[in-house]
């Protein structure tokens, strides 16, 4: 029953369509009808500007961290401190939140790509791995100005970072890192095609014009 609650609550947390609600409330538009038509932070930066872009980014990260921390509130007494079971709940909740972000029940199942929420999950479960993956993303993004390429490469590196650098080699963590990376890469399948075609949009989040 605890597993069911974690799955359900994490999915609803992930389903909060931050970009959609921010666009509708502050600008009266559906962000999914503008720019790249994606309900994520990157498209919010492009369409609405830095102020709203950073807001959406922060909230989407917090969604992932909240989902990863759910067991602390829902399962503290259920498992009495057994780390393996507790970790499983964190990982299942994290994956459920990413699925909610990509397929949000509150926004006709048309959501974002799960990058910021995935980062929040890793922050909640393994902060050192999050720091390494974020560094990889920033290196690729600042070098190429392709947000999607940075996210894809960071997702590909995540299982290796978790296994080799953070020394977290438990079977459940290996499965989790591969699944999470696969979801993020799958959500970027159109970006991958545009990257191969040379038509992907570049971006500078720190420029004066957003």
In order along its 210 residues, the chain shows pLDDT tens digits of: 678 888 999 999 999 999 999 999 999 999 999 988 889 898 999 899 989 999 999 999 999 999 998 888 765 544 444 556 778 888 899 999 999 999 999 999 999 888 999 999 999 988 888 999 999 999 999 999 999 999 999 999 988 888 877 765 577 888 888 888 898 899 899 889 999 998 888 887 655 544
The model carries a pTM of 0.85
CB atoms within 10 A of CB 69: 18
């Amino acid at each position: 029953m605890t597993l069911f609650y974690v799955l359900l609550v994490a999915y609803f947390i992930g389903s909060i369509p931050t970009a959609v609600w921010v666009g509708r409330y502050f600008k009266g538009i559906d962000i999914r009808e503008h720019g790249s038509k994606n309900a994520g932070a990157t498209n919010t930066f492009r369409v609405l500007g830095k102020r709203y872009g950073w807001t959406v980014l922060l909230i989407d990260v917090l969604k992932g961290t909240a989902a990863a921390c759910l067991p602390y509130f829902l399962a503290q007494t259920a498992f009495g401190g057994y780390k393996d079971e507790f970790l499983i709940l964190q990982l299942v909740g994290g994956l459920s939140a990413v699925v909610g972000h990509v397929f949000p029940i509150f926004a006709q199942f048309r959501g974002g790509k799960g990058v910021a929420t995935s980062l929040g999950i890793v922050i909640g479960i393994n902060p050192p791995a999050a720091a390494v993956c974020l560094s990889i993303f920033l290196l690729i993004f600042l070098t190429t100005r392709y947000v999607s390429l940075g996210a894809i490469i960071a997702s590909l590196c995540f299982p290796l970072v978790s296994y080799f650098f953070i020394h977290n080699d438990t079977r459940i963590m290996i499965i989790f890192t591969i699944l999470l990376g696969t979801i993020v890469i799958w959500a970027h399948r159109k970006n991958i095609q545009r990257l191969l075609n040379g038509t992907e949009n570049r971006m500078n989040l720190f420029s004066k014009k957003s």
